[in-house]
Structure 1
Amino acid sequence: MVRRNDGRRAALVDGAIEVLAREGARGLTFRAVDAEAGVPAGTASNYFANRDDLLTQAGARVYERLQPDEATVARQRASTRDRETYAALMRELVGRISDFRTGYLALLELRLEATRRPQLRKVLTEQVRADLQANVGYHEESGLPGDATAVQLLYLTLNWLIVEQLTLPDVLSESERERLVTAAVERLTTSLPDAG
């Protein structure tokens, strides 16, 4: 039985993310992943049953890497519960996701590929649904202004803002993006009183 190294597996999955972002799903081959990860040819085929397995694990890894670190979570929990804080949290979220440019672009490639691969679509649907439900749950526990619908609308709004920023970065300036995030939070929670 082949013994597998978890560090090498992570390097291969991270390599797959880079290949997806740079070359798209059609460019994702075991050979390309091996080259990106700097491992001997044939290594990826020892770690992943097939291309679908690699695609699925790449999608899971993107979400894993997009999670805020413990310091960010602690800072969020210690903050006041008003619209200004909420807008700051959303600007931080957009920044964190945008900083992992290749991860988000890889995720867009995976979403397009999922339209042709039912198993990948199932996995991504479950992951995105769980992520959205976790965001709603966190929001409800946090006492921030707004309701579940506001969270869902912000999710949809900010996702497209991030797509715009990563694919056509000159459409909006950084200050315009920040202003739009703040305006989205204010408008989506305006009929509700601040909890802070």
Structure 2
Amino acid sequence: MVQNTERRIALVDAAIEVLARDGARGLTFRAVDAEAGVPKGTASNYFANRDDLLNQVGAHIHRKLALDPAEPAAAQLPPSRELLTELMRALYRLISEDRTGWLALLELRLEATRRPELQAELTKTLRENLNLNIEGHRESGMPGDEMTTVLLYYAMSGLILEYLTVPGVLSAYDEDALIETFVIRSVGT
């Protein structure tokens, strides 16, 4: 059967919505079909099984949440602590604006604790993402080293997790100031 690429993407986007709203247990082919507004049975024609759907959701989310290297801040500043701070802020804004995608990714991470195949695939994707960040940092001429990237990766992950799940925890702090502090403390003065 010839498959429509646009419909596949619409089904994956619908799966992200279902996953973020209803959790992994609510993610069924029937729920995806309903969310996408397609006839019953459509999702099962596009995905071999639920694991295939979950893996494709994870890959799609990472593509959507990737920071565009042509981010305006990158064009305005030379490699510096200031540019790194602006890029981290841009990343935070991008993810904050796609709350559904990030919450779906969080659900995937939780589901991966129960599904070894998904855990292997998600580990591979996240490791590749971290490695790309490390390599990009190295090639960009930004201050700091590999550990700077790792520290920022996990500091930003924690900040985003709090903001999207329990925003009141950090309500007394300015996110931009926190991000600047993350960069300063991981790069140094």
Could you say which TM-score interval applies, normalised by the shorter chain?
over 0.9
Deviation at 1:58, TM superposition (A): 0.4
Count residues with an aligned counterpart. Answer: 189
**What fraction of aligned residue pairs are identical, expressed as a percent?**
55
Is the Cα–Cα contact under 8 Å of residues 73 and 86 in structure 2 kept in the other structure?
no
Between 1:21-30 and 1:87-96, the stretch displaced more is 87-96
Structure 1 residue 77: deviation in Å? 5.4
Contact 2:73 2:87 in 1 (8 A): no
Query: Equivalent residue for 1:82?
Result: 80
Matched, 1:52 2:47: no
Q: CA RMSD in A?
A: 1.5
In the alignment, the residues of structure 2 paired with residue 45 and residue 143 of structure 1 have an alpha-carbon distance, to the nearest angstrom, of 47
The residue aligned with 2:30 is 31
In structure 2, the residue matched to 1:132 is 130
After superposition, the Cα gap between the structure-2 partners of 1:118 and 1:40, relative to the gap in structure 1 and judged at 3 Å, is: same
- Once the 2 structures are TM-superposed, how far is the Cα of residue 82 of structure 1 from its aligned partner? 1.5
Name stretches of at least 5 consecutive residues in structure 2 with no aligned partner. Answer: none
CA contact under 8 A between 2:85 and 2:180: conserved in structure 1? yes
Q: TM-score, normalised by structure 1?
A: 0.92
Q: Which residue of 2 aligns with 1:170?
A: 168
1:151-166 equivalence runs, <5 A = 151-166=149-164
Cα distance in 2 for partners of 1:174, 1:128 equals: 31
| Residue 78 of structure 1: how far off its partner (Å) | 5.4
- The CA distance in 1 between the partners of 2:120 and 2:75, in whole Å, is 33
- Aligned with 2:169: secondary structure? coil
Secondary structure, counterpart of 1:145 in structure 2:
coil
Decide which of 176, 186, 189 is 1:188's aligned counterpart.
186
5+ residue gaps, structure 1, are 192-196
Matched residues in 2 for 1:48 and 1:79: separation?
44
* 2:114 alignment partner, SS class: coil
Counterpart residue type for residue 99 of structure 2: R
Deviation at 1:113, TM superposition (A): 0.5
Taking structure 2 as the reference length, the TM-score comes to 0.95
